[in-house]
């Protein structure tokens, strides 16, 4: 991974979007109440624990009405700042004024961040048909407004006149905010609507839509629930991890044989064989000896929430084009396992990380790095390109998607206007400070013979 240009904690503060719950609220609920609401008497899979911890309507981290997404009153005038020191001072002032709010890149670099996305869409879409855009988790509506602004000013009039922009937002308060933001331009409102629902629920999409469209997901993948699998040592089989509540207070892990279909699919896509199978007898014997002498427990986090969402999107919108951006790497992760999350909360302006995801019971954010290679594999898998089947026929079939992963700097240099986020001395926070973030683009292809 490319090194960060400044402290990892500062980068986290700049980029991430938590909607923070005031600690006055947390004081009203005991850990027993959190545990009861989230787990109850029946064990649940880790992905369900994470989903409830983040989205439970009563105690979920993102579901509190008091939570907020940071919104800047005005765009930052980067060309009026001398350099990095002046930029950081300006950010510090913004954070103090906003109290508990955090800001996403699309907000910090508005309107230029959204304009880069809009340009990418215009360059790669078929403009002979009406442009239809879906945004998953649209936050405060800044991205939607920026894209609609750009298309109105830079695309042929007929493109703007016939555009349809739908935001699929799980938070009712954010849905209302999006309408307010987009409504700052009267002509946008007739082209924009919000559907307050869970995008991963297939029933919300209705009938299959065969029309070409775009799906945008900015900082969505990191908050999708993951599953956890565990193995005692290098040769023990993987097990599913469940969370159970003992006596209504203490949470602990429960290990069961792999049975869940989403977990199985993820393991198949990763090509993760059972630890007791595969390999030669000699290598298996060596592994067995090594495991006995140096036993090492193993954890692996699987993006089952992302897999489910992609399955739904490909099922509902089979001709969609996809653009997503997120973390490719997270610094200072304390929790073990490949693709492990940061579990973090904020108090008095400073962040603190938990050592266990089990400590997050509605009072902390849980967010994951995105394995962009795995994202590409899941995208191909959900599109119907069954490359995982071992028969020769399926291996010869062409992919149904053309995909590309780009670092944020490379994406913005190609599609954006980097000069707009450059300070007087040449420092550019959008290009220089987001080394651990990437964009993923995926468009359908006819190469399916």
Spans of all domains in the chain: 44-274+282-443
Question: If you search the block for the tokens 């000013």, which residue do you land on?
Answer: 153
Longest dimension (CA), the chain: 71
Q: For 44-274+282-443, CATH number? A: 3.40.50.12710
Decide: helix, strand or coil at residue 123.
helix
pLDDT tens string, the chain, 449 residues long: the values are 333 333 334 444 434 333 322 222 223 333 333 344 677 778 999 999 999 998 887 778 876 544 556 788 899 999 999 999 999 999 888 877 776 546 889 999 999 999 999 999 999 998 899 999 999 999 899 999 999 999 999 999 999 999 999 999 988 888 999 999 999 999 999 999 999 999 999 999 999 999 999 999 999 999 999 999 999 987 889 999 999 987 766 889 999 999 999 999 999 999 876 433 444 444 445 555 555 556 689 999 999 999 999 999 999 999 999 999 999 999 889 999 999 999 988 766 567 888 999 988 788 889 999 999 999 999 999 998 655 444 445 444 567 889 999 999 999 999 999 999 999 999 999 999 988 999 999 999 865 44
Q: What is the DSSP letter of 79?
A: G
On whether the CB atoms of residues 148 and 120 are closer than 8 A, the answer is no
Task: Residue 101: name the closest of 22, 177, 20 by CA.
Answer: 20
SS3 track for 151-214: HHHHCCHHHHHCCEEEEEECCHHHHHHHHHHHCCCHHHHHHEEEEECCCCCHHHHCCCCCCCEE
Q: Please, how many CA atoms are within 13 Å of residue 406, restricted to the half-sphere of its CB?
A: 18
């Amino acid at each position: 991974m490319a090194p960060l240009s400044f402290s990892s904690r500062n980068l986290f503060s700049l980029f991430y979007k938590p909607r923070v719950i005031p600690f006055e609220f947390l004081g009203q609920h005991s850990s027993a109440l959190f545990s009861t609401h989230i787990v109850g008497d029946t064990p649940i899979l880790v992905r369900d624990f994470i989903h409830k911890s983040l989205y439970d309507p009563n105690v979920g981290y993102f579901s509190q009405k008091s939570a907020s997404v940071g919104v800047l009153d005005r765009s930052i005038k980067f060309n009026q700042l001398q350099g990095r020191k002046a930029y950081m001072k300006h950010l510090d002032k913004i954070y103090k004024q906003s109290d508990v709010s955090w800001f996403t890149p699309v907000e910090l670099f508005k309107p230029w961040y959204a304009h880069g996305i809009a340009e990418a869409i215009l360059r790669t879409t078929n403009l002979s048909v009406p442009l239809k855009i879906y945004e998953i988790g649209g936050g405060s509506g800044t991205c939607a407004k920026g894209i609609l602004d750009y298309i109105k000013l830079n695309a042929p009039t007929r493109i703007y006149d016939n555009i349809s922009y739908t935001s699929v937002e799980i938070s009712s308060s954010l849905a209302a905010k999006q309408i307010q933001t987009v409504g700052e331009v009267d002509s946008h409102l007739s082209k924009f609507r919000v559907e307050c629902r869970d995008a991963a629920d297939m029933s919300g999409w209705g009938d299959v839509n065969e029309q070409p469209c775009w799906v945008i997901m900015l900082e969505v993948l990191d908050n999708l629930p993951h599953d956890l699998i565990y193995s005692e040592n290098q040769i023990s089989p993987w097990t599913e991890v469940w969370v159970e509540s003992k006596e209504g207070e203490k949470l602990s892990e429960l290990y069961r044989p792999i049975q869940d279909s989403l977990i199985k699919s993820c393991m198949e896509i990763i090509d993760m064989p059972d630890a007791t199978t595969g390999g030669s007898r000699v290598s298996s014997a060596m592994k067995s000896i090594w495991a006995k002498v140096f036993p090492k427990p193993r954890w692996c986090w699987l993006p089952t929430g992302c897999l489910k969402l992609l399955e739904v999107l490909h099922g509902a919108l089979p001709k969609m084009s996809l653009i997503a951006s997120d973390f490719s790497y997270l610094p200072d992760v304390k929790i073990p396992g490949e693709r492990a999350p940061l579990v973090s909360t904020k108090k008095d302006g400073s962040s603190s990380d938990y050592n266990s995801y089990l400590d997050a019971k509605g009072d902390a954010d849980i967010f994951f790095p995105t394995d962009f290679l795995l994202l590409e594999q899941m995208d191909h898998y959900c599109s119907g390109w069954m490359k995982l089947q071992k028969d020769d026929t399926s291996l010869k079939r062409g992919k149904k998607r053309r995909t590309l992963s780009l670092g944020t700097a490379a994406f913005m240099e190609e599609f954006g206007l980097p000069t707009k986020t450059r300070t007087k001395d040449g420092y550019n926070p959008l290009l220089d400070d987001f080394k651990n973030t990437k964009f993923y683009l995926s468009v359908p292809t006819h190469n399916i013979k």
